[in-house]
Amino acid sequence: MAVLKTVLYLIVYPGILFLFVYATFVEWFDRKVYARLQNRMGPTHTGRFGLLQPIADFVKLMSKEDIVPDKADKTLFTLLPIFGLAIVATAGLLLPVWHTNPLQPGFNSFPGDIIILLYLLSLPTLIFFLAGWSSTNLFSTIGGSRVLTMLFGYEVPLFLAVLSPALLAGSWRLAEIAAFYRQHPLLILPNLIGFAVALVCVQAKLERTPFDIPHAETEIVGGTFTEYSGKKLAFFRLMTDIELVVSAGLLATVFLGGFGGGIFLGFLQFIGKTLAVIFLLTLMRAVTGRIRIDQVVSFAWKYLAPLAVLQLLIVIFIKGWVL
Amino acid sequence: MKFSIPIGPQHPALKEPISLRMTVEGEVIRDADIRLGYNHRGIEKLAEEKTWIQNIYLMERICGICSHSHATCYVQGVEKLMDIVPPKRALYLRFLVAELERVHSHLLWLGVAGHEAGFDTFFMYTWRDREIVMDMLEAISGNRVHYAINTLGGVRRDLDEGLRQKILGQLDILRRRTEYYLKIGANEPTFVARLAGVGKLSKEKAMDLCAVGPTARASDIARDVRRDDPYGIYAETPFEVSTADTCDVLGRVVVRVKELFQCYNLIEFMLKNLPAGEVKVKAPRRAKPGEVVSRYEAPRGGNIHYIVSGGADKPERLKVRAPTLANYPATVEMLKNGFIADIPLIFAAIDPCICCAERTVETVDLRTGEEKVLRFSELRALAKERFDKNPRKGTGLWPF
Amino acid sequence: MNDLDTIERIKGALGSRIVEMTNPAPGRIFMTVAVEDLVSVMTNLKRDLGFWYLATISGFDKGDAFQILYHFGLEGGNLNVRTQIPKPAGPDGASADKTAPHLPSICAVIPGAILYERELQDMFGIVVDNIPDPRRVVLPDDWPEQNFPLRKDWKFERPPEVIPGGKK
């Protein structure tokens, strides 16, 4: 029975099948909200309300010709999308959706798994850089260097902001943090500054406007993805979608109290809370323009990092004084 | 470490082929080189073989966005050569379409500037409002671009009362929306951060390099052909020259938005004071020998046509200088010491209408720009050779 | 300022270098100068009279001579400075560099004239002396030499249209 549950966990929910379906749904949601905010329609044609549009895009990309540049490092070029997809899917396994006991650590929930999750979410940035590097195309190289430059900006505030609620809850286990905030819902409020900082940093990590500099279409053609086509590009796009789901799940777990109440209620809470976070991210995407790379780093260190430190100080204050 | 980046001839930032070779060091541009000639169509030579009336339609096809400018500038010149004066109503209608064209061109440019800056929402909003203008133009002339409403001696179609009222009604909507854009453009921090201080062109440099249009007016040079050399009805309509003094791309946005408001005032004035009468007079087939210089303020700057007639029914020389060509040396100046990320914005800020700028001989080859420049025939041979060596595998493999 | 004032000012600054000056329409002033005086006239116009806006440079093939017009935009009208250089006789293929028509460059005075002068070089085969950047601007790089499209004797023969696999 336990083996069956584990297998279901790994493959169906929240394994690769669920992540695949949910990631495409989330991409549809993002595109629809973005379009409606811009007074356009968004996907409407494929399937009811255009729900099948991201799947159609995936299938189309998978069936296109795969072109590998002559001078590129073929092994690295081919393996990177697969690595990326594997990494974000593994990160998705650490979200406490079901089959977790807040009182007892298991294979998918152990002390320190929040650090592992954050680490797994930083690896895609390195993968993007290597993708740009191995393409040996001028535009890809510039895109890759921009990706790493942005990493210097948003990584520190993100870590500080996400670790503050963990400090308040007194645990490094995601399931325990979520359970803590479910028991003390009022303690969500002091973490709101951290929530805002984490939202902006996650937007930067996912390379969406205002931080979509690395693949800025109008400047450097495709950035890191210029030379990718066909199946590899399909995997990269799926990887970014799943990364969106996992980051939203992380933010929902740590800041919004996780997904409790068994399997079905937890499932509904997962959908609801992640969609709320993604709605906020899409709103940010629709109302801003792109900023320059040097402005990103200065903005991150001038505003985001001090705010994250402030959040940390608030948490320490509350923990020491009140609890 | 310096290396040179080719922007174009094919690039998503450019709507038309042009080659910019930048020598960059890190992210800073040290030197820029513009190579033209990709969009030549041989219009000046062709114009010498077509009659005066046929040339109107040729002039219109110099550009899609500022088609009416070229046609009107040409028709003005030829009417002076032929010594005919079009009736007042025709002039009002002609310049009504001209101001509507200016509105649609500036709204298009605002959208393009937003898109180049990554601010796609702004792009979608301005182009939605541009649809209102295009619908009006279609109701007046029958076409959304290339209005073909000019003819020697007047205009071809008349405007009826119902349409006049309708356009006046739509002006209110446009005015309100443009005020909203002025508010966004001036206050949205990411947008302003992208535009302020970018592409600086000082006043002396602008005068040295003979910049025209909003590019020059943003450097505090109050030059506008409608005021300097009033043609048509601009001598009697209320009109002010819009300038800004920040000398950068933000100044150019401000100048264009101010011009939008001036356009609305002009359109309202023209619609309210539309005189009655005929819309055209008959034009002779041949023009008297002579020469004429005709100037016009296109949305991008001053347009100048120089027409020489030898008494025949075809022109002897027709020289066109569109405003974008005059802004190229200024662009090279603006690109130096800028960032790569600013290239599309700087280039878009002069509102490039590259097909306007090149007309003189038919192209023989099309060039592609890679690290080395290849001739098309060479490319074809290369492609054939490569595909002979590696036959393509089946592309329609179903992955599952 | 109106035309008469402008004409007076120009006459005062340039004096005897003007060969002919006409005012055929309100706002249009046409002035002819000799080729030798061209650069000094331009310097005077820009420095002393403040005419900085050169709209364009037109070339015109009159058969036995090239007429070059410099169009200046002024507040209140247009000043067109005309100059003429003789065209070498004989077919274009025979004219070597020595007999090619020469024109002094005004880029030292008005840097913005560079693109228009390059166009004159390409289209008419006029050699502009002291031009800062003599590359081709409008014609493709592999355009055959000594082929100047805007000269009156250059005709374009359209190749007969061949529809592959179809009827003639």
What does the DSSP assignment read for B109-130?
HHHHHHHHTT-HHHHHHHHHHH
B10 near A CB under 8 A: no
pLDDT at B376: 39
Q: Nearest Cβ partner of B341 from A286, A289, A292? A: A292
Q: Nearest Cβ partner of B128 from A37, A39, A65? A: A39
pLDDT of C97-118, one tens digit each? 446 788 888 888 888 888 888 8
Task: Verify whether the Cβ–Cβ distance B209 to C139 is below 8 Å.
Answer: no
pLDDT at A159: 92
Task: Verify whether the Cβ–Cβ distance C74 to B363 is below 8 Å.
Answer: no
The neighbour count for residue A318, using CB atoms within 10 Å, is 15
pLDDT at A82: 92
Task: Verify whether the Cβ–Cβ distance B362 to C28 is below 8 Å.
Answer: no
Q: Which domains does chain C have, with CATH numbers?
A: 3-129 (3.30.460.80)
The mean pLDDT of C17-32, rounded to a whole number, is 84
Can you give the length of chain C in residues?
Answer: 168
Residue environment code for A241-280, b if the CB has 16+ CB neighbours within 10 A, otherwise e: bbbbbbbbbbbbbbbbbbbbeeeeebbebbeebbbebbeb
Task: Select, from the ranges B9-23, B61-75, B360-374, the one with the highest average predicted confidence (pLDDT).
Answer: B61-75
Task: Verify whether the Cβ–Cβ distance B295 to C55 is below 8 Å.
Answer: yes
Task: Verify whether the Cβ–Cβ distance A142 to B340 is below 8 Å.
Answer: yes
All residues of chain B having their beta carbon less than 8 Å from the beta carbon of residue A292 are 193-194, 339, 341-342
Q: Nearest Cβ partner of B293 from C59, C78, C122? A: C78
Tell me what the pLDDT averaged over chain B comes to. Answer: 79
Task: Verify whether the Cβ–Cβ distance B37 to C58 is below 8 Å.
Answer: no
B127 near A CB under 8 A: no
What does the DSSP assignment read for A173-238?
-HHHHHHHHHH-GGGGGGGHHHHHHHHHHHHHHTT-TTS-GGG-HHHHTTGGGTT--HHHHHHHHH
Q: Nearest Cβ partner of A38 from B13, B121, B191? A: B121
pLDDT of A311-321, one tens digit each? 999 999 988 88
pLDDT of B112-148, one tens digit each? 888 877 788 888 989 999 999 999 999 998 888 888 8
DSSP structure class, residue C73: E
Task: Verify whether the Cβ–Cβ distance A218 to B115 is below 8 Å.
Answer: yes
Distance CA B251, CA B196 (A): 8
pLDDT of B284-322, one tens digit each? 888 888 888 888 888 888 888 999 988 888 888 888 888
Distance CA B90, CA B283 (A): 14
pLDDT at A280: 94
Residue in A closest to B25 by C-alpha:
A142
CATH of B43-357, one of 1.10.645.10, 3.30.365.10, 1.20.120.1200, 3.40.50.620: 1.10.645.10
pLDDT band at B4 (very low <50, low <70, confident <90, very high): low
Give the residue ranges of chain A where pLDDT is below 70: 214-222, 323
pLDDT at residue C9 greater than cutoff 70: yes
pLDDT at C167: 66
pLDDT at C90: 53
pLDDT of A278-297, one tens digit each? 999 999 988 887 777 778 88
pLDDT band at B388 (very low <50, low <70, confident <90, very high): low
Distance CA A251, CA A257 (A): 9
Task: Verify whether the Cβ–Cβ distance B395 to A63 is below 8 Å.
Answer: yes
Sheet of B28-35, strands arranged across: B2-7, B19-25, B28-35
C95 near B CB under 8 A: no
pLDDT of B143-193, one tens digit each? 888 888 989 988 998 888 899 999 998 998 999 989 988 887 777 777 777
- Nearest CA-CA distance, residue B332 and chain A, Å: 17
Cα–Cα nearest to B317, from B129, B77, B149: B77
Q: Which of residues 19-48 of B touch A (CB under 8 A)?
A: 27
pLDDT at A215: 65
For an interface test with B, the pick among C69, C138, C158 (most B C-beta atoms closer than 10 Å) comes out as C138
Going along chain A, which residue ranges are E strands? none
Residue in A closest to B11 by C-alpha:
A221
Q: pTM for the whole thing?
A: 0.80
Distance CA A38, CA A261 (A): 38
CA distances from B172 to A111, A120, B175 (A): 63, 54, 5
pLDDT at C146: 75
A36 near B CB under 8 A: no
C and A touch with 3+ CB pairs <8 Å, answer: no
pLDDT at B364: 25
Q: Provide the residue ranges of all domains of chain B, joining segments of one domain with +.
A: 43-357
pLDDT band at C120 (very low <50, low <70, confident <90, very high): confident
pLDDT of B228-242, one tens digit each? 878 878 888 888 888
pLDDT band at B396 (very low <50, low <70, confident <90, very high): very low
The neighbour count for residue C26, using CB atoms within 10 Å, is 10
A67 near B CB under 8 A: no
